[in-house]
Amino acid sequence: MAIVTFGGAYAVLAYVAQQAVSTYGWLAPGEMLDGLGMAETTPGPLIMVVQFVGFMGAYRNPGMLDPMLAGLAGAAITTWVTFVPCFLWIFLGGPYIEKLRGNKSLSAALSAITAAIVGVILNLALWFGLHVVFEKVIQQSLGPLRLYVPVWSSVEFAAIILSASAMIAMLRFKLGMIPTLAASTVFGTVAFYFGF
């Protein structure tokens, strides 16, 4: 995916979530959200969520290895194959970038790719949003389309209230990101432990 995708981590994560959760069953949707949450809280790149997915996939399918050893190997291999191709693209293609900037056909193609990436990121935001707000989401096929339909009886009111409160705090009251995250963490933990 690191070789054939454009748009950064959010564009890749839509495909990773689909494959790891729906196709291979390495993770549940909530676990994918956990991985994204861990990646968002670290100072490293967001794409490190794939390391978590690699670990979980190998840990749950260790073959003849110890599950922890398989998980560590899966995480290491995932990290390697995520970053090495990107570095090669940069180091090998870097000298030619200035020559490509003047190519009008290439600029038009990259503009179209940019528009498609916005759609992919929107898809990812909707997928994660549905799995945060609803405990159960079912997948239905409509021809070649796969639609995620929430089970309305599984709505997570605490998640809705917490999300809306964080949005109001940041947009209306101009509260900074760190205090908002800290407060959300405290209220989310309380809601979880008290069964809300």
pLDDT in tens, 96-113: 777 777 778 877 887 888
pLDDT > 70? residue 59 = yes
Average pLDDT over residues 133-137: 92
pTM exceeds 0.75 for this model:
no
Mean pLDDT lowest for which of 44-53, 91-100, 164-173, 182-191? 91-100
Please report which confidence band the pLDDT of residue 10 belongs to, taking 50, 70 and 90 as the band edges.
confident
d(CA 191, CA 144): 39
Please report which confidence band the pLDDT of residue 7 belongs to, taking 50, 70 and 90 as the band edges.
low
Q: Which residue in 22, 20, 28, 73 sits closest to 50, CA to CA?
A: 20
Please report which confidence band the pLDDT of residue 69 belongs to, taking 50, 70 and 90 as the band edges.
very high
pLDDT > 90? residue 186 = yes
What pLDDT is recorded for position 2? 61
Query: Which of the pair, 180 or 89, is modelled with greater confidence?
Result: 180
Average pLDDT over residues 127-136: 90
Quote the DSSP letter at residue 21: I
Please report which confidence band the pLDDT of residue 54 belongs to, taking 50, 70 and 90 as the band edges.
very high
pLDDT > 90? residue 171 = yes
Report percent pLDDT > 90 for the chain. Answer: 41
Q: Which two tokens stand for residue 108?
A: 């038009």
Distance set, CA 82 to CA 49, 79, 125, 166, 171 (Å)? 11, 5, 22, 33, 35
Secondary structure (DSSP) of 95-126 = GGHHHHHT-HHHHHHHHHHHHHHHHHHHHHHH
